[in-house]
Chains A and B, each alone.
Chain A
Amino acid sequence: MLNVLAEFVGELRAAGLPVSMSEHIDAARAMRVIDLADRRALRDSLAATLVKDGDHLPVFYTAFDVFFADRALPPVSDETHDGESPDGDAGSPGPGQSRGDGGGASAPLSAEQLADLLFRALRDGDQSALNRGARAAVARYAGMEPGRPVGGTYYLYRTLRSLELDRLEARLTDGRAAEDDQLAKRLARDEARARIEGLKRAVERAIRERLVEDRGSSALAKSVRKPLPEDLDVMHANREELAQLERALRPLSRKLATRLARRRRRRRRGPVDLRHTVRRSLSTGGVPLDLRFKPPRPAKPEIVVIADVSGSVASFARFTLHLVHAISSQFSKVRSFVFVDGLDEVTDYFDGVDDPAVAVARINAEADVVAFDGHSDYGRALLSFHERFAKDVTRRTTVLILGDGRNNYHQAHAEVVADLASRARNVFWLNPEPASYWNSGDSIIDQYAPYCDRVVECRTLRQLEAFVGGLS
């Protein structure tokens, strides 16, 4: 059992979760006092000892499900918590209608039968019927090919598309839709959606079971390994991952703001506050034992963000603008400019908006950034910035330029950056491309680099956070 645990810890580390030695030991101790046959208890105990961050739990759960799917734990009774029995009947041969796969003996369900089965299971909240239906659906629609090293996202998509979830939802809310009370309608809809979410999870589980059966859990673990949200590559994130990043950004910016505010307050004490000190000294007989200080007022930097928002780096620019504005209270002023081949100031978009995400969405729709052909032109954009706003760049300004430096073979106009650098406190260039790609193809980052204080690789939220955290 200890070996299994060590292997599992290795798997978690491979997935990016930091697991320390003492946490490993705690997990081993926990395993001695719990009922190992109880898969749920095992999962919760391992989670409590090995994972110390709520955001990491989803990654942990996936890893756990896959890793222990075909591990012969000391006899696992056919448990039924929430119907979660990842290995259910994997061992028994041809369990009839519960599988209905190609090689099975029983006749597969017809499409209508299947839809009906799922509908009834969802309506009655019957978890075991739902699992049965999900397995049948996977067998019928996923079109799985044995041996392919995939994580199953594609199979999930195919299965769900064939199940026509919209129609299922409509059927579930049927009869309630007639009610005129808006609230009741809404509740019925949300209930239906929650149940369909349950179906999605059941299908996902069914697919994973089949994949484990096909290739074994260690091989599968590699393909389903998901990076933590803060390690996702922003430039190449797909839609789902972008949504994940979006969710991760909010708590991140809140934490960052608290950290910066706290640091500012603590950093260096101000001059001695005589009044306060004398008052304190009364309780020690007039001896000023306890010096009091006035709070310091360190200067907050001004930030100017100049962001390339052309297709390839748009999401990176969005996240950075969002983050910088979310913590704008830590800077004395934040001004934002976006460009493709034309430049537009977008600072106003953030005024009086509670949620920076709203403003960022408006930038995408409204900012006037295309002057010619809609291909990034750093040289032209920087020239135009210099012409119009260079006088606003002072010794207190930190300039952030965001972009991959892929200039589509236009002129670089690096002298503009040089002039900005001489006026500003700092000029930083954030590049969302891996450093190894810099200066390949039409990337001319090296022409700008000598004039920047630093060119920073910023591919993930973690890197972005670290950089922005060091700004103020």
Chain B
Amino acid sequence: MTSLDPRQELAKRLGLEHLPPVHFESAADVRARLAKNEYLSDDAIASVAFLADRLAKPVLVEGPAGTGKTALAKAVADAVGARLVRLQCYEGLDESKALYEWNYRKQLLRIQAGRSESEAQESWSELEEDIFSSEFLLTRPLLEAISATDPVVLLIDEVDRVELETEALLLEILSEYQVSIPELGTVRAQQIPMVFLTSNNTRELSEALKRRCLYLYIGYPDVERERDIILARVPGISTALAEQIAQVVRSLRTLDLKKSPSVSETLDWARTLVILGREEIGAEETVATLHILLKYQSDIERATKEILGHAVSLA
């Protein structure tokens, strides 16, 4: 095969002088280093993070809320010693909030200052060149990540919240690692940043976006992994209690609830139980603290009924 390694290819396109070093040795290395940052991955997560690094491709992470999608990006940033640049998406996000914006107040000031100081000395073309320089540019997260010289991990959070049209803003960055500014030219990445996009799957993302990314689905963990996550993240908890908590949560997830308890809610619950000084949990305590795990009254009533075996009127 004659084709270049994808990283080399990208580095060449970006005009980097030397190839940035890879972050991870192997999938096992990913796992170990994420674990050091208190993020317990599984085989799939580690494989995808490894591939993202080697193939220099963004990762699209999907899954139910609170299963550690955002935490993954943070943990990877910590593991490779990079700065996390985060773009929180919301409806109505546009390029002036995501990419860059001209600081027109400053530009106005510059024009007025120029006028009073040295009248007619400055030609318009000079002035124009001046006010459209990077000095008057307000960088927003995407441009900031691209123009950074230190290692960064770019997190584009909840990308499913932006409109379909806004998604297109991301495409150039995701495939070319560059941003085109009409007045200024093209800003190319100084290094190869790792990029994570998260989505709660509230709408179908465009094919174009998906094609540019590796795909990772993070579902609810199985009992063993959830127990390990609790042990890693909640100090001072006993293995037995963690195991019990993981089992209760699994049982709750089998119920047909509006919103199943997420991993982060599980952790909150575990912390609560530790603060309350419990060594094990019975039905009564579980019911009393259910509101930490479940956020809908109808869900709480339903779970209470299942746990106690009969309906209870919640006062």
Interface positions of A (Cβ within 8 A of B): 18, 20, 22-23, 26, 29-30, 32-35, 40-41, 44-45, 47-49, 51-54, 57, 81, 181-184, 186-187, 190-191, 194, 251, 254-255, 258-259, 262, 266, 283, 354
CB neighbours (8 Å) of A29 from chain B are: 6, 55
Pick 22 A–B contacts, CB within 8 A, sort by A: A20-B207, A20-B211, A22-B211, A30-B55, A33-B50, A33-B51, A35-B26, A41-B27, A44-B43, A45-B47, A48-B214, A49-B214, A52-B211, A52-B215, A53-B210, A54-B63, A183-B283, A184-B282, A186-B306, A190-B250, A194-B223, A255-B202
Considering the chains assembled together, what is the distance between the CA atoms of A286 and B237 in angstroms? 62
Taking CB atoms, residues of chain B closer than 8 Å to A251 are 201
Other 4 A-B pairs with CB < 8 A, given A30-B54, A45-B47, A181-B282: A32-B1, A33-B54, A186-B251, A266-B163
Which bracket fits the contact residues of B? 35 or more
A184 CA to B43 CA, complexed, in Å: 31
B interface list, Cβ under 8 A from A: 1, 6, 26-27, 43-44, 47-48, 50-51, 54-55, 57, 59-60, 62-63, 91, 105, 163, 201-204, 207, 210-211, 213-217, 219, 223, 244, 247-248, 250-251, 254, 258, 281-283, 286, 298, 306-309
> Which residues from A are CB-within-8-Å of B217?
54, 57
Of residues B59, B213, B251, which shows the largest number of chain A Cβ atoms within 10 Å of its Cβ?
B251
Contacts of B210 in A (CB 8 A): 52-53
Contacts of A181 in B (CB 8 A): 282-283
Which one of A33, A182, A266 contacts B55 once the chains associate, using CB atoms below 8 Å? A33
Contact, CB under 8 Å: A190 / B247: yes
The interface residues of chain B, by DSSP majority, are classed as helix
List 8 tightest A-B contacts by C-beta distance, closest first. A183-B283, A44-B47, A52-B210, A54-B217, A33-B54, A48-B214, A44-B44, A190-B251
Contact A26 B57 (CB under 8 A): yes
B41 to chain A, nearest CB (A): 11
Are B201 and A47 in contact (CB-based, < 8 A)? Answer: no
Question: What residues of A have a CB within 8 angstroms of the CB of B281 in the complex?
Answer: 183
CA distance A26 to B58 in the complex (A): 12
Collect the chain A residues with CB atoms within 8 Å of residue B48's CB: 44-45, 48
In the complex, chain B residues whose CB is within 8 Å of the CB of A182: 283, 307-309
Contacting pair B202 A254 (CB below 8 A): yes
Residues of chain A within 8 A (CB-CB) of B308 are 182
- Residue numbers in A under 8 Å from B248 (CB-CB): 183, 187
Which residue of the partner chain B has the closest CB to A30?
B51
Query: Do B51 and A54 touch (CB < 8 A)?
Result: no
What is the bound-complex CA distance between A190 and B44, given in angstroms? 25
Specify which of B55, B91, B306 lies most central, judged by the most chain A CB atoms within 10 Å of its CB: B55
A299 to B136, CA, bound (A): 45
With A48-B47, A183-B283, A262-B163 as contacts: A255 and B215 at CB distance below 8 Å: no
Query: Distance in Å from the Cβ of A68 to the closest Cβ of chain B?
Result: 16
Q: How far is the CB of A12 from chain B (nearest CB, A)?
A: 14
Residue numbers in B under 8 Å from A57 (CB-CB): 217
Known contacts A29-B6, A33-B54, A258-B203; A47/B44 CB under 8 A: yes
How far, in whole Å, are A283 and B105 apart by their CA atoms in the complex?
9
Chain B residues near A41 (CB, 8 Å)? 27, 43, 47
Task: Say yes or no: B286 contacts A183, CB within 8 Å.
Answer: yes
- Please name all residues of chain B whose beta carbon is closer than 8 Å to the beta carbon of A187 when the two chains form the complex: 244, 247-248, 251
Chain B residue nearest to A49 (CB atoms) is: B214
Q: Are B203 and A47 in contact (CB under 8 A)?
A: no
In the assembled complex, the Cα of A251 lies from the Cα of B62 at a distance in Å of: 13
Residues of A within 8 A of B298 (CB): 354
The CA of A23 and the CA of B51, in the complex, are separated in Å by 14
* Residues in chain B near residue A18, CB distance under 8 A: 207
CA distance A190 to B281 in the complex (A): 16
| Cross-chain contact B202 with A258 (CB below 8 angstroms) | yes
A34 to B27, CA, bound (A): 9
Report Cα–Cα, A53/B63, bound state, in Å. 10
The CA-CA distance from A61 to B102 in the complex, in Å, is: 49
**Complex Cα gap A41–B43 (Å):** 7
**Chain A residue nearest in CB terms to B213:** A52
A266 CA / B47 CA spacing, docked (Å): 40
With A26-B214, A57-B217, A183-B282 given, is the CB distance from A40 to B51 under 8 Å?
no
Distance in angstroms between the alpha carbons of A44 and B59 in the assembled complex: 13
A residues in contact with B286, CB < 8 Å: 183
Complex Cα spacing A364 to B114, Å: 79
Look across to chain B and name the residue whose beta carbon is closest to the beta carbon of A189: B251
- A40 CB → nearest B CB, Å: 5
B222 nearest CB neighbor, chain A only = A194
